[in-house]
Structure formats: C-alpha cells, structure tokens
C-alpha cells in the first residue's frame, strides 16, 4: 500500500519554522525582506509571484514587488538589480522567469549578488552547491530533499534515478543526492533504454516536463516516486510527469500533483531568504 507524500503538510511545517526564526530576528531588530521582480504579464508568472507574496505574509518576511512592463529594457532591469544589491534592507532578490525575449536571462541571473541570490541560480552559488559549501540550495531540489527527510526516507546507498538534466532541477538534484551518499543516475532525452534505469531505481525523481511520462511498467515494486513536473493533461487538468493513478499501485511513497513538490519550492525560498538575512547580519 503506497503512502502519499503531502507537500502541503511539510511546507506548512517549514514555513512555521521560518516564521519562528523571523520573529526571533525581529526581537533583535533584524527584519527579513525579499524583493521579487516580475517583467511583463505572463499569467503563470503572476500566479507564482502572488503565491510567493502569500508565503512571505505567512512567515513574517517583508515582500517588495517590482512589477515592470513588458517593454522594460535590459539596461533598466539590470539597473534595478544593482540598486537592490546595494540596498541593505533587501536580503533576497528573485527575478521571476521567463523574461521577455529581448532580455538576456543569463545576464540578469549573473547580475544578482550571490549573497542575495535566494533562487541559487548564480554561477557562484551553483559552484558552492557542488562543493557542498552552500548557504542556500536550489529551491525545488532542496524541497525534494526535505520531503524525503520528513518521511524518513534515507537516500544513503540508494539507487536514485533523475529524469531531466535542467539547471533548475536535474543537475542540482544530483548534487544534493550525492552529498547524502546516494548512487545517482541522471537520465535525459538522449538516454537509451530509459526503463532499464528506472526499473532498477529505489527512488525515481521525474523532472522532464511531459504529462504522465512515467508509467507503471517503468517502476519497480516499492520504489519511491517523486514527481516534480507540472503539466496539463488532455482535459486541461493539472498533472505531473508521472501517471499517478497507475504508478501509485507499485510505489511505496509517491508525491501527487498538485500538492507534492510545488508547495515545497516556495517554502524553501522562504528558508533561503531567512538564511541570506542571517548571513548578511553575521548571525
């Protein structure tokens, strides 16, 4: 019988822990703040930004939103980031992706101070992550690690297969699992005989961006299945990269979509913002 991994429950626990620490810092005269930049009118981006603002309210973190028009130039955006880098009252800076086509995302990511890069996208922070010397880690992969930890799922020595090699999920996920002594295989669009790897995995993490891509015949009995994907099925209903209804019959633990990894990403963002504030104030 499978156990459903409840991301809402775990994220609430983490946000509550953050709230307690934020209140302690406030007693010392230290406020924790996050600057969120959104460029243009992408509906999905607006939803994400609103959810981040709600999480800030729930944890006591001060949220500063900078909503810029679609026509904002790259130079104007970089100038804003530079000002926020210099502002001692701002602890974390997040620029919601994707950006309009005329703005170079890489330039924007590299412009954010590594000390305030709470998304962990800057090359300095990516390097620290691989060295195991990080102040904060990429939000979604760290969210997965916290889910596994909360449910007492030990990854040490386990055969872990990640499907997807993106800079946002796949690669940092591999780093965090290796740090905990897992045996890690990263599969991707060029992987031949994908099922060979997934059938031998104790833990499968799907981050491929294809609706119901992982099917029951790809999973061994008793495997832990973590679904990072957010897609729409043929009926327009939210679903993940895993065929949940069929795979759950073989899994020991499985995350649903929605309500699995999604809430964790924002909870870790709050955790990272708190860590940034503590670092900047030598606490």
pLDDT one-digit tens code per residue, 184-231: 999 999 999 999 999 999 999 999 999 999 999 999 999 999 999 999
Q: Is the pLDDT of residue 12 over 90?
A: yes
Q: Do β-strands 238-239 and 231-232 pair in parallel, antiparallel, or remain unpaired?
A: antiparallel
119 in catalytic set: yes
The pTM assigned to this predicted structure is: 0.95
pLDDT at 209: 94
Percent of the chain having pLDDT more than 90?
A: 96
96 in catalytic set: yes
212 in catalytic set: no
Catalytic residue among 15, 96, 202, 227: 96
Indicate the pLDDT class of residue 1, thresholds 50, 70 and 90: confident
Which tokens is 104 given?
């170079």
Instruction: Please give the domain boundaries of the chain with CATH numbers for all domains.
Output: 30-115 (3.40.50.10860), 139-262 (3.40.50.720)
Contact between 60 and 17 (Cβ < 8 Å): no
Beta bridge partners of 226: 205
Report angle CA 43, 120, 16 to the nearest 5 degrees: 75
Verify cis geometry, omega within 30 degrees of 0, for the bond prior to 229.
no
Catalytic residue among 15, 116, 117, 119: 119
Separation of alpha carbons 228 and 205, rounded Å: 7
CA atoms within 13 A on the CB side of 239: 16
Taking residues 252-273, report their average pLDDT: 97
Separation of alpha carbons 251 and 4, rounded Å: 10
- Residue 68, SS3? strand
Catalytic residue among 52, 158, 171, 248: 52
195-199 contacts at long range (C-beta below 8 A, 24 or more positions apart): 197/161, 198/161, 198/163
Q: How many CB atoms lie within 10 A of CB 229?
A: 23
Taking residues 246-273, report their average pLDDT: 97
Q: How many CB atoms lie within 10 A of CB 59?
A: 27
pLDDT at 210: 95
Indicate the pLDDT class of residue 248, thresholds 50, 70 and 90: very high
pLDDT in tens, 38-49: 999 989 899 999
Separation of alpha carbons 109 and 213, rounded Å: 30
Indicate the pLDDT class of residue 173, thresholds 50, 70 and 90: very high
pLDDT at 44: 87
Phi, psi dihedral angles at 135 (to 5 degrees)? -85, -40
Phi, psi dihedral angles at 83 (to 5 degrees)? -65, -40
- Residue 117, SS3? strand
């Amino acid at each position: 019988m499978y156990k459903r991994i409840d991301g809402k429950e775990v994220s609430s626990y983490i946000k509550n822990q953050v709230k307690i620490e934020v209140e302690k810092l406030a007693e010392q005269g230290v406020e924790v703040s996050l600057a969120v930049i959104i460029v243009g009118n992408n509906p999905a981006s607006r939803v994400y930004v609103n959810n981040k603002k709600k999480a800030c309210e729930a944890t006591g973190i001060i949220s500063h939103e900078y909503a810029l028009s679609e026509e904002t130039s790259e130079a104007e955006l970089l100038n804003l980031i530079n000002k926020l880098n210099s502002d001692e009252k701002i602890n974390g800076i997040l620029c919601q992706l994707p950006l309009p086509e005329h703005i170079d995302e890489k330039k924007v990511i590299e412009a954010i101070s590594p000390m305030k890069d709470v998304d962990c996208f800057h090359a300095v922070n990516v390097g620290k992550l691989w060295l195991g010397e990080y102040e904060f880690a990429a939000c979604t992969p760290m969210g997965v690690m916290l889910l596994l930890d909360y449910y007492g799922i030990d990854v040490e020595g386990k055969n872990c297969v990640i499907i997807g090699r993106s800079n946002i999920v796949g690669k940092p996920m591999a780093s965090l699992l290796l740090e905990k002594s897992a045996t890690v295989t990263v599969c991707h669009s060029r992987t031949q005989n994908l099922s060979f790897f997934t059938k031998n995995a104790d833990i499968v993490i799907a981050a491929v961006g294809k609706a119901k891509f992982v099917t029951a015949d790809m999973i061994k009995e008793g495997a832990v299945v973590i679904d990072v994907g957010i897609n729409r099925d043929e009926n327009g209903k939210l679903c993940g990269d895993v065929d949940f209804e069929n795979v759950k019959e073989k899994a020991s633990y499985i995350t649903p979509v929605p309500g699995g990894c999604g809430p964790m990403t924002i909870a870790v963002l709050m955790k990272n913002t708190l860590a940034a504030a503590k670092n900047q104030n030598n606490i």
